[in-house]
Structure 1
Amino acid sequence: MRIILAEDNDILRKSLSFFLESKGFKVDQFSDGQEALEAIESDNYDLVLTDVNMPGISGMEITQYIRETLKSDIPIIIFTSSGVEQTELDSFDLGANEFMSKPVSPAVLLVRINKLLNSRT
């Protein structure tokens, strides 16, 4: 299973990537939203993990592009450090499947990933 992880916080990105790879996932990491979006356009992924606020393109813009331009139903989980309820509502409106506040618990993330991937099979 291939996951794209777009997160500009180096420590969080590297630790989540290490954790997910230890669980058998192949993870492509990006700290810039534009680079992540280019990878999504040119490669096949099973899941997208993205932060809301990133350099280049935001996680919201990535979500909107995947749903509206690529017409893809790939599962998307959005992370944010913002505790603003409207951000969560907006992410669901754009087509995100899950929303997680930071700090992200790797164990909870794994449960949500497995739930989303199992519902697609």
Structure 2
Amino acid sequence: MKVLLAEDNEILRTSLSFFLKKQGFEVSPFSNGKEALESIKELSYDIILTDINMPGFSGLEITEYVRNTLHLETPIIVFTSSTVEQTELDSFRIGANEFIAKPVSPAILLIRMNKLLNK
């Protein structure tokens, strides 16, 4: 399974990539939204994991582009350190499948990913 991981926090990106690779996923990590979006345009992913606040394009902009421009149904999990309820509501409104508040638990992330991938 191919996973796109867009996260600008290097420690979190590295640790989640390592964890997911150990679970058998093929992970493409990106530190900014612009590079992540370019990759989504060119390659097919089974699931997209994206932080909301990133340089280039935000996770919300990526989600909106995937849903409204590319018209893809690829599962999307959004995570953020924002505690504003509206951020979570906006994520679902534009097409995110799941929302996880930081700090991200790798075990919880894996459960939610498997739930979406096994539909």
SS at match of 2:118: helix
Structure 2 distance, partners of 1:44, 1:90, is 25
Displacement of 1:27 = 0.2
Paired positions, count: 119
The sequence identity of aligned pairs, in percent, is: 66
Structure 2 distance, partners of 1:20, 1:107, is 10
Displacement of 1:28 = 0.2
Cα deviation code 1:47-71 (max 9, x no counterpart): 0000000000000000000000000
Q: Does 1:66 align with 2:92?
A: no
Partner of 2:77: 77
Structure 2 distance, partners of 1:41, 1:3, is 14
Structure 1 distance, partners of 2:100, 2:83, is 10
State TM-score, norm by structure 1: 0.98
Displacement of 1:12 = 0.2
Displacement of 1:20 = 0.3
Partner of 1:18: 18
Indicate the RMSD between aligned Cα atoms, in angstroms: 0.3
Instruction: Tell me which stretches of 4 or more aligned residues in structure 1 moved more than 4 Å.
Output: none
Q: Does 1:6 align with 2:26?
A: no
SS at match of 1:109: helix
Structure 1 distance, partners of 2:50, 2:110, is 15
State TM-score, norm by structure 2: 1.00
1:26-105 to structure 2, matched below 5 A, reads 26-105=26-105
Structure 2 distance, partners of 1:30, 1:44, is 15
Structure 2 distance, partners of 1:69, 1:2, is 21
